[in-house]
Amino acid sequence: METATQPEDEARVAGVRARLADLVEADPSPAELALVARLLNSFAAKAPAASDLLLRLMYQGDAGLVREQAHSLKGSAANIGATRLAALYAGVEEQARAGIVTDPGTLTAHLELEVGGAVRAVLVLAGEYERACSA
């Protein structure tokens, strides 16, 4: 069973759980539970590489590409309830929209922390949904 490994992770799990409660019916079918589990697992699998791409684009300094990638990542994070991560991407997007590309060196550790926390949170919930659909 996946568990949150840091105190901040409990808040992350709660945020994702609240968002999923908005998206999923009160008594979801096994197929709906499986779909949510796949969505969460997909986010967990793709988020680190997508954030790495954002950092690479930031090193390249192209504000337009940074804005597009940050916007996409912000939407993905917000859609699953990873609000801290979505806010971080929103800040990068806002600066890039203004033509400013943040120094990725100052952002890397914070981004890795938030991506890691979001991934841990969604994996906790993906496990719950997987168990619920097989029960």
Band of residue 75 on the pLDDT scale cut at 50, 70, 90: very high
Q: State the DSSP code for 5.
A: -
Across the range 43-69, mean pLDDT stands at 97
Measured distance CA(56)–CA(44) in Å, rounded: 20
pLDDT at 5: 56
Q: How distant is the alpha carbon of residue 77 from its chain centre? A: 4
Provide the residue ranges of all domains of the chain, joining segments of one domain with +.
7-134
Percent of the chain with pLDDT over 90: 81
For the segment 36-51, what is each residue's pLDDT rounded down to a tens digit? 999 999 999 999 999 9
Which DSSP string corresponds to 32-71? HHHHHHHHHHHHHHHHHHHHHHHHHHHHHT-HHHHHHHHH
Topology of the domain comprising 7-134:
Four Helix Bundle (Hemerythrin (Met), subunit A) (1.20.120)
The angle at the Cα of 114, spanning 108 to 117, to the nearest 5 degrees, equals: 135
Measured distance CA(112)–CA(127) in Å, rounded: 22
Percent of the chain with pLDDT over 70: 96
Band of residue 8 on the pLDDT scale cut at 50, 70, 90: confident
Which DSSP string corresponds to 79-103? HHT-HHHHHHHHHHHHHHHTT----
Under a CB-based contact definition with an 8 Å cutoff, are residues 118 and 77 in contact? yes
pLDDT at 9: 86
